[in-house]
Structure 1
Amino acid sequence: MIDQQNNNVMQQDLFYQLGEQSSDGYFVYDVIDCKFLYFNAALTGIWGLKPDDIRKSPTILFDLVHPDDQELVGYCFQEISDDKKFKKYEFRLLLDDEKEKCLRVSISPVTGSGNEALCGIVEDVTVETHNRIHIEQINNRKNIALEVLSHDLKEPFGMMKLAASSMANGIEGKNDEYLSEGLSFIIEMCERNMKMVRSLINKEFLKSAEVEIKKERTDLVWEFRDLIRFYRRSRLKENKNFSFNCKSDRIYIRMDSMKFLQVLNNLISNAIKFTGDQGEITLTAQEMDETVLISVADNGCGIPEEIRSSLFDRAEQGLKRGLKGEESHGLGMGIIKAIVDLHGGKIWFDTEINKGTEFYIMLPK
């Protein structure tokens, strides 16, 4: 009996130690006496309350549950009390600033030392939940966009096929004027419909960039070296020179690496378009006390003065084509700025016609 009690005390102590070190909320609630036997600092932070407020009136936690979810939470409390089995629940808080938080509670009944209690962990899953909802909305819009494209493109492509077939069947007996008119028609229809496709895709791409970021500890130096290694191994190495400069062996920063690498790929892609053969494209990272300065530089044709002030606008700008006729769209720069903003960073550039452009990104560590 004594050994069992000692074991229970040790398990309880371990649970409390985990709670004090965790960013999730830990709690033990006495069902009989309707009071908390234990809760950690993270739990008070999630609710935005003071520890004394929770101790004096535990029901204050329920008062901040979203009105639409209070009935659900009441049902969950009753269910866990009756079934006495491990459960997971999700619900929302509605805080004083009208801001919603989404929580996931993993909870289990425990007994011992004459107490009937509920022991659980509370996770703040607001970002995860919003991302899931946002992604579902994006997928729904993409499905609609695909339906529109399949419907609206069917007729013009059918007309182009008909025109091309007519030209092929009668090419021997027709003059150059007939061929010229037919080709002009096909080119015009292609350009018109490709613009529609690009517009729809760009709008959805921009919307998807607004999904909240999920930051993780990342070694920038490793990621950037790997990125430049990719370009050096590609066919682009035949007419472009890629380099990475950094004085630090490692630079750790919390960021959404997938989204941020999208930023760098976009900047490097633009540099490739507007840099001539054997052009230089350089990625640089510099660690400072509280920030990291990142830059992408090229020695290409530079950015025209008339579009510099609106370069980061989200509206489509119709940038000039690349040096070899590649298509470019101002919307891509809007996406870049949106992702940098989501990281709490800043982006700007220096440019000079026929000498090159350098984009700078400052990120907090």
Structure 2
Amino acid sequence: MSDFAALLMEQAEASPHVQFIYDAATARVVFVNPAYEHVLGGTPGQVNEELPALLARLHPDDRPYLAKCWRLWTRGQLSDEVEVRLLVANEPDQWFCLTPFCQQKGTAPALLAGMLRDITVSKHYQQNTDTFLARKNAMLEILSHDLSGGFALVQQIAEYLREEVQAPADSQLHKMLGVLETTSRGSLKMIRDLVDIEFLSSANTDLKRERVEVGAVLRETLEQLQQGQRVLGFRLDYSLPREPVYAHLDVNKFQQVLNNLVSNAFKFTPDGGRVEVEVAACPGGVQVHVRDTGIGIPAALQPVLFERFTKARRPGLRGEPTTGLGLVLCKTITEWHRGTLSFVSTEGQGSTFTVEIPQAV
């Protein structure tokens, strides 16, 4: 055995993670550390006999992905960590992160070394965090819309009364109405600024992509948005792929893109209108369509829609202001995912925004 293998074996003995060396020439595991017994329930001396049963526990959706990674690994071209799931009878899937190493001299078969870390607990924490963030984003949008609508109404009534009501010269009515109008306007701005700041600050954090089932991670966001919009009296329908579709996503950021596109759709859709979200596989990719039956985008504004602080920014039908940054950030985050954001719109007939990102194996 080479010095490379001997060194890895020496360092691996005390590791809490499974470490192994596989000899491609003999198609056998030539070393596995004691952690194999504690983490995977196997017997180190019988690892080659147990390997077929262990591989049979791979999640069916992960097998093509792992096969692709294996081909790269045997060529010395795999450097990224790989996350896979093992099926466990009557229990949730067990998640592992594989850190690959490879030694190859000339055309000789390679020695493949790897370290397997059990990341099941951290995966569950991440899933809970994503669920919480989806609910938080949906709740912020609901509160923004609901509270903003209330304060906007109070502001409009105060303006109307101050202009229409004749009060005695010594009355404080006009002064009080002015205070009410100013306070409502300030509260309205504060609520909307809070939502904008939250979106901007979250969007500017580092991208952390992982291979996920797109329909599964977007379902929570769509359910929250659907329930929230129903409370506000609006209709949101959505459809997800029938078969699992995978992509490399920063789940929180991608949820923000979806949340922002849906929010914009409702902003320009009159009462009684409808917004529909469709998540579907396409050749080599995944598409998310956000369709509305709103007022559409004037043709003159469409060429500059994605410009920063674009002149295409318009207040919503219910007075919602815009910074002109929402669609720019959506486009930026989509491009971080190596995807595209496009749209088609006809004035008076609604709009469809489409996010397309590469599909993972």
TM-score normalised by structure 1 residue count? 0.48
Query: Structure with the greater relative contact order (CA < 8 A, sep ≥ 6): 1 or 2?
Result: 2
TM-score normalised by structure 2 residue count? 0.49
Structure with the largest fraction of helix: 1
**Could you say which structure has the larger radius of gyration?**
1
